[in-house]
Structure 1
Amino acid sequence: MSLQQIRDESDFDQLPHNIPITATIADIEEVKGFIDYYRFIIEVKTKGGGKYLIYRRYREFFNLHQNLEAKYSPENPDRPGPNTCKLPSIPGKIFIGNKQEIAESRIPELNTYMKRLLGLPAWLLLDDSLRMFFYQTEQDSEHQPRALRRLRPRTRKVKTVKSPKMDLLSSPRAEAMFDFRGNGKAELNLKRGEVIFLLRRVNADWLEGTVNNQTGIFPESFVKIIKPLPESDSEGEGGGRPYSCLRCFLLTPSGVDTRDVCVQEDLSIQPTYKDLLARMRDVFKVDDIALNYRDHERDLIRILDDDDVQLMIRESRGRPGKDDRPVNQFPWQLHVTLTSDLSVYNVEA
Structure 2
Amino acid sequence: MSLPQQLRGKSDFDQLPDNIPISATIADIEEKKGFIDYFRFVIEVKTKGGSKYLIYRRYREFFNLHQILESRYSPEDPDRPGPNTCALPTLPGRVFFFFFLPKIAFQSVKCSSAIPELNTYMKRLLSLPTWLLLDDDLRMFFYQTEQDSQQLPRALRRLRPPTRKVKTVKTTNDLFSSPRAEAISDFCGSSKAELNLKAGDLIFLLHRVNGDWLEGTVNDQTGIFPESFVKIIKPLPESESEDEGEGPNCSCLRCYMLTPSGVQTRDVCVQEDLNIRPTHKELLSRMRDIFSVDDIALNYRDHQGDLIRVLDDEDVLLMIDAGRARVAATIPRPVNQFPWELHVTLASDFSVYNTDA
Query: TM-score, normalised to structure 1's length?
Result: 0.60
Q: Deviations over 1:120-179 (max 9, x none)?
A: 23333344433332232344323333443334674598454634799xxxxxxxxxxxxx
- Output the CA distance in 2 between the equivalents of 1:87 and 1:27: 25
Between stretches 291-300 and 70-79, larger displacement belongs to: 291-300
* 2:257 alignment counterpart: 250
Would the alpha carbon gap of residues 5 and 116 (structure 1) be closer, same or farther in structure 2, given more than 3 Å must change? closer
- Output the CA distance in 2 between the equivalents of 1:314 and 1:135: 36
CA RMSD between the two structures: 4.6
* 1:90 alignment counterpart: 91
Equivalent pairs: percent with the same residue? 64
Counterpart AA for 1:142? Q
* 1:290 alignment counterpart: 297
Native 8 Å contact 1:30 1:36 kept in 2: yes
Would the alpha carbon gap of residues 332 and 236 (structure 1) be closer, same or farther in structure 2, given more than 3 Å must change? farther
Counterpart AA for 1:13? Q
* 1:53 alignment counterpart: 54
Native 8 Å contact 1:281 1:289 kept in 2: yes
* 1:13 alignment counterpart: 15
- Output the CA distance in 2 between the equivalents of 1:85 and 1:264: 40
* 1:79 alignment counterpart: 80
Aligned-pair distance for 1:291? 3.6
Native 8 Å contact 1:292 1:336 kept in 2: yes
- Output the CA distance in 2 between the equivalents of 1:151 and 1:278: 34
Match of 2:125 among 117, 120, 135: 117
Between stretches 313-322 and 51-60, larger displacement belongs to: 313-322
Unaligned runs of 5+ residues in structure 2 are 1-6, 161-189, 206-227, 229-236
Query: TM-score, normalised to structure 2's length?
Result: 0.59
Aligned-pair distance for 1:274? 5.6
- Output the CA distance in 2 between the equivalents of 1:72 and 1:343: 58
Aligned-pair distance for 1:32? 3.2
Counterpart AA for 1:92? G
Counterpart AA for 1:91? P
- Output the CA distance in 2 between the equivalents of 1:109 and 1:86: 18
Aligned-pair distance for 1:71? 3.8
Native 8 Å contact 2:324 2:339 kept in 1: no
* 1:150 alignment counterpart: 158
Pair member with larger Rg: 2
Counterpart AA for 1:108? P
Would the alpha carbon gap of residues 122 and 232 (structure 1) be closer, same or farther in structure 2, given more than 3 Å must change? same
Q: Which aligned pairs between 1:325-336 and structure 2 lie closer than 5 A?
A: 328-330=336-338, 334-336=342-344
- Tell me if 1:102 matches 2:103: no
Counterpart AA for 1:143? Q
- Output the CA distance in 2 between the equivalents of 1:67 and 1:296: 47
Native 8 Å contact 1:20 1:45 kept in 2: yes
- Output the CA distance in 2 between the equivalents of 1:158 and 1:114: 32
Native 8 Å contact 1:270 1:309 kept in 2: no
Aligned-pair distance for 1:52? 0.8
Counterpart AA for 1:312? V
Native 8 Å contact 2:16 2:130 kept in 1: no
Native 8 Å contact 2:297 2:347 kept in 1: yes
Q: Which aligned pairs between 1:30-45 and structure 2 lie closer than 5 A?
A: 30-45=31-46
Unaligned runs of 5+ residues in structure 1 are 167-212, 214-229
Q: Deviations over 1:202-255 (max 9, x none)?
A: xxxxxxxxxxx8xxxxxxxxxxxxxxxx9979x996769831233434344566
